[in-house]
Structure 1
Amino acid sequence: MRELSAVIRGKVQGVWFRGWTRETARDLGVTGWVRNLPDGAVQVLAHGTDQQLDQLEDRLWQGPPLARVTTIESRRTTTDTPLTDFSVRR
């Protein structure tokens, strides 16, 4: 299992980015979570295949209609820790 850890910056809070990310990840069959960060960014931790994570990262660049993504800082690792769903964390 592969793990994607990403921090998305730009206009990504207050534009339904977390809910959109949850729906997008679930559609792709990816598990993990998304949350807002105090500095205005959004953090994503996702588990899936490299192909699923490639698709998720491509879609994160687009975001929901009102979002404006300027940068994504991401890294991938291998993990054995299973996650069962994709959730929005507070």
Structure 2
Amino acid sequence: MVRKVKILVSGRVQGVYFRAFTQNKAKQLGVKGSARNLADGRVEIIAEAKSPTIEEFIKWCSKGPVTARVDHIEMAELQSDEQLTSFDIIR
């Protein structure tokens, strides 16, 4: 089953290449979606993949790359109305 989720990551996650590392991990796992910085200092990730892959990706996001410090993540299920085709960084 394909799942689509929104993940909000809080902590030291901007200015530490969090989005680029997230994109690399997503490509490695075959996750489609996007990552963007929010004005409040968090990173918003939209991710779509099969359920076991999404679970692995969420687990990675809760730790992040060594350059970051993840304090908290929030996750919400989204409707998968259109299938995503790549993982992009939104600037």
Counterpart amino acid of 1:46?
Answer: A
Following superposition, which runs of at least 4 residues in structure 1 exceed 2 angstroms of deviation? Answer: none
- Counterpart in the other structure of 1:86: 87
- Structure 2 unmatched ranges of 5 or more: none
Shift of 1:53: 0.7
Question: Residue by residue, what CA displacement relative to the aligned partner does 1:8-57 show, whole Å, maximum 9, x if unpaired?
Answer: 00000011100000000111101000000001000000111111110001
Residue 46 of structure 2 corresponds to 45
Looking at structure 1, the residues matched to 31 and 8 of structure 2 have their Cα atoms a distance apart, in angstroms, of: 17
- 1:78: Cα distance to partner? 4.2
User: Could you say what secondary structure the match of 1:62 adopts?
Assistant: coil
Q: What runs of 5+ residues in structure 1 fail to find an aligned partner?
A: none
Q: Secondary structure at the match of 2:76?
A: strand
Structure 2 CA distance for aligned equivalents of residues 14 and 77 of structure 1: 27
How many percent of aligned residue pairs carry the same amino acid?
37
User: Between Structure 1 and Structure 2, how many residues are aligned?
Assistant: 90
